[in-house]
């Protein structure tokens, strides 16, 4: 296998400008008689081949070096790489890149190699290289030096052996191997290469430094190195690190360190505070099931979750949690005002809704369709049970809400589809495909895709006419539909039930109110805008956002009305 041929082929594919270029060197399928000098020279020629980015070249050449290390270099792949590391500094500006390249390729090779040179001899050779670098006879930057010690797993005994050989030759006078390494580590610290210093301390089991070293890393914002060092030193040093984090108000870092190292008992208050804060954020997003799973049956956290549900007015969740975890004494508690209650929420009676009608049988479906067909304007929304398992198939859409200004129909899609699929398909097609009815939604294109995926055999979701997505009018709006309702109507929507179980039957009264509001609020927002013609400026600007969809073809149509 030829290094230059294979690398040229890969780089050629990455850079069409190099198609006419070729390498004129011999292809070496056998590295037995190829010296490290020739090898690195060919590597340099391959690197200069083409004009693609350096990162792409590096990856391609690293792969090729990994491959040719299988081609029997003498006296062996790892020894061959050490010899290359003695020579690579001759390539000056590219020395660091080539050194890193051959070491990283060797790392890949060692993971799959079945036979290798004598391990102790390799460590001795690497130790000699390390000492030659420290003495200034071979130049490599400190990153490469640390990599050499790690990859070849050089021990203090190997360094001691190399130092003894130098003493026998009267070459120089050195102390012990540990003193030699400590001096090098001190140079790393002086250069503020804390992570490298910590890596070597851990590698050679050197524990002489204490809190002063930890403080030095923290003061220089070397937090990863500080944590690595504290972990190596043990629990007392980890506790010191956490205390320093707390003093610097780095509470999240303190919490993460506590959690990763099982130090909850040492810092119970901080840990509990962050766990409760995490549950609160999930509750504010309506992710109650996720919050409950995160509480992991911890009674104190479950009780906090119950308080959050009470504060949000989510009393069915309170009852559910109290029943599941046998909690008593919550029914008589007066709930204080909290951040979950900061905003005032819209209620159905404020919008003068006359009826919320549950539809789960054919007669009611036909009656609802007849009523809706008489409307010029409706709000449309749908809900489905959330699925928190990553990569799993989403649950079927459970309900679909269609609202006029005074009435909201909630269709039980699961039951209607199971019992009356043809009637359901026909009725929804009459509504969604009507050119007379303006359908209002919020990110409803996403909902309609979910509907089509849930009920693939129904044709009603594959074609719709005159859909106006309110979201497209307010692209800068924050806080979703609730934020828009607050901006336009003066109060937001309580989203605590957004991720509840929409497949349970019957739905709770709170769920019905939530579902109805999500649809009818669209009508009221639109009517308010049409009357006020603000903040759109041109009161007809929204008409260009109306969309008609048929199969895979989409087009925007102008909606004209008086």
Structure tokens at 281: 């954020």
SS3 473: helix
Per-residue pLDDT tens over the stretch 309-353: 888 778 888 888 999 999 986 655 555 444 444 457 888 888 888
Quote the CA–CA distance of 292 and 330 in Å, as a whole number.
17
Extents of the domains making up the chain: 3-228, 268-341, 348-556
Each residue's pLDDT expressed in tens, for the chain with a length of 562 residues: 455 455 444 444 444 333 323 333 344 566 777 888 888 888 888 777 767 788 888 888 888 888 888 888 888 899 999 999 999 998 887 888 889 999 999 999 988 887 777 888 999 999 999 999 998 999 999 999 999 999 999 999 999 999 998 887 766 667 899 999 999 999 999 999 999 999 999 999 998 767 889 999 999 999 999 999 999 999 999 999 999 999 999 999 999 999 999 999 999 999 999 999 999 988 887 888 889 999 999 999 999 999 888 887 788 888 889 999 999 866 555 554 444 444 578 888 888 888 999 999 999 999 999 999 999 999 999 999 988 777 778 899 999 999 999 999 999 999 999 999 999 999 999 999 999 999 999 988 889 999 999 999 999 999 999 999 988 887 656 678 888 888 888 888 888 778 888 999 999 888 999 999 999 999 999 988 777 655 444 444 677 788 888 754 444 444 433 3
Per-residue pLDDT tens over the stretch 494-516: 887 788 889 999 998 889 999 99
Q: In what order do the strands lie in the sheet with 355-359?
A: 355-359, 407-412, 397-403, 377-384, 438-441, 463-469, 546-550, 553-556
Give the model's pLDDT for residue 11: 45
348-556 has which fold? Nucleotidyltransferase; domain 5 (3.30.420)
> At which residue do the structure tokens 């039980």 appear?
412
SS3 550: strand
**Selection from 69, 62, 63, 64 nearest residue 30 by Cα:** 69
DSSP secondary structure string, 84-110?
HHHHGGGGGGGHHHHHHHHHHHHHHHH
Structure tokens at 463: 């074609």
Structure tokens at 37: 């000098």
394, 387 in Cβ contact below 8 A? yes
Give the model's pLDDT for residue 558: 41
Give the model's pLDDT for residue 19: 31
337, 387 in Cβ contact below 8 A? no
Mode of pairing for the β-strands spanning 407-412 and 546-550: unpaired
DSSP label at 455? Answer: T
Q: Compute CA distances 448 → 400, 453, 526, 557, whole Å.
A: 10, 8, 20, 19
Quote the CA–CA distance of 477 and 487 in Å, as a whole number.
9
> At which residue do the structure tokens 């006078």 appear?
173
DSSP label at 233? Answer: H
Give the model's pLDDT for residue 21: 34
Quote the CA–CA distance of 375 and 519 in Å, as a whole number.
14
Q: Does residue 107 have a cis bond before it (omega within 30 degrees)?
A: no
First-to-last alpha carbon distance for the chain, in angstroms, is 77
Helical ranges in 389-508 per DSSP H: 413-419, 421-432, 444-454, 470-473, 480-489
**Selection from 377, 318, 330 nearest residue 510 by Cα:** 318
85, 129 in Cβ contact below 8 A? yes
SS3 171: coil
Quote the CA–CA distance of 56 and 42 in Å, as a whole number.
18
**Selection from 164, 133, 136 nearest residue 146 by Cα:** 133
Quote the CA–CA distance of 468 and 444 in Å, as a whole number.
9
Give the model's pLDDT for residue 106: 92
**Selection from 280, 262, 264, 260 nearest residue 272 by Cα:** 264
DSSP label at 345? Answer: B
SS3 549: strand
Q: Estimate to the nearest angstrom the gap between the alpha carbon of 160 and the chain centroid.
A: 46
Give the model's pLDDT for residue 262: 94
CA dihedral 46, 51, 56, 58 (to 10 degrees): 30
């Amino acid at each position: 296998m030829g290094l230059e041929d294979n690398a040229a082929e890969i780089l050629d594919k990455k850079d069409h400008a190099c198609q006419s270029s070729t390498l004129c060197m011999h292809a070496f399928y056998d590295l037995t008689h190829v010296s490290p000098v020739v090898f690195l020279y060919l590597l340099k020629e391959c690197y200069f081949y083409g004009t693609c980015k350096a990162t792409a070249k590096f990856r391609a050449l690293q792969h090729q070096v990994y491959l040719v290390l299988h081609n029997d270099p003498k006296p062996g792949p790892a020894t061959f790489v050490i010899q290359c590391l003695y020579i690579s500094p001759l390539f000056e500006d590219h020395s660091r890149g080539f050194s890193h390249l051959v070491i990283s390729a060797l790392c890949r090779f060692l993971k799959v190699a079945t036979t290798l040179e004598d391990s102790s001899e390799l460590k001795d050779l690497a130790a000699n290289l390390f000492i030659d670098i420290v003495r200034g006879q071979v130049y490599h930057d400190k990153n490469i030096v640390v990599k050499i010690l790690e990859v070849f797993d050089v021990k203090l005994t190997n360094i001691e052996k190399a130092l003894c050989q130098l003493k026998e030759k009267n070459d120089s006078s050195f102390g012990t191997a540990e003193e030699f390494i400590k001096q090098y580590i001190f140079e790393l610290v002086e250069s503020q290469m804390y992570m490298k210093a910590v890596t070597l301390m851990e590698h050679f089991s050197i524990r002489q430094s204490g809190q002063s070293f930890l403080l030095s890393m923290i003061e220089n914002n070397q937090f990863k190195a500080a944590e690595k060092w504290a972990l190596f030193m043990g629990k007392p040093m980890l506790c010191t690190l956490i205390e320093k984090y707390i003093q610097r108000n780095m509470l999240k870092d303190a919490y993460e360190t506590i959690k990763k190292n099982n130090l909850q008992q040492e810092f119970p208050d901080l840990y509990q505070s962050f766990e409760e804060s995490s549950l609160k954020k999930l509750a504010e997003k309506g992710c109650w099931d996720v919050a409950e799973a995160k509480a992991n049956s911890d009674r104190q956290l479950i009780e906090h979750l119950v308080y959050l549900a009470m504060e949000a007015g989510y009393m069915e969740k309170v009852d559910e949690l109290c029943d599941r975890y046998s909690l008593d004494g919550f029914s008589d508690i007066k709930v204080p005002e909290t951040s979950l209650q900061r905003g005032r929420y819209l209620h159905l009676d404020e919008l003068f809704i006359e009826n919320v009608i549950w539809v789960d049988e054919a007669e009611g479906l036909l009656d609802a369709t007849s009523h809706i067909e008489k409307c010029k304007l409706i709000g449309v929304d749908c809900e489905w049970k959330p699925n928190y398992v990553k990569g799993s198939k989403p649950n079927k859409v459970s309900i679909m809400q269609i609202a006029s200004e005074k009435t909201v129909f909630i269709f039980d899609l699961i039951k209607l589809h199971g019992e009356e699929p043809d009637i359901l398909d026909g009725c929804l097609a009459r509504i969604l495909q009507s050119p007379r009815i303006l359908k209002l939604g919020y990110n409803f294109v996403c909902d309609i895709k979910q509907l089509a995926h849930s009920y693939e055999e129904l044709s009603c979701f594959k074609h719709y006419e005159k859909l106006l997505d309110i979201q497209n009018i307010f692209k800068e709006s924050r806080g979703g539909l609730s934020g828009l309702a607050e901006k336009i109507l003066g109060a937001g929507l309580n989203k605590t039930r957004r991720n509840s179980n929409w497949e349970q039957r019957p739905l709770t009264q709170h769920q019905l109110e939530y579902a109805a509001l999500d649809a009818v609020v669209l009508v009221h927002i639109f009517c308010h805008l049409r009357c006020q013609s603000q903040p759109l400026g041109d009161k007809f600007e929204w008409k260009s956002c109306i969309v008609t969809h048929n199969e895979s073809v989409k087009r925007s149509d102008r909606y004209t009305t008086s």
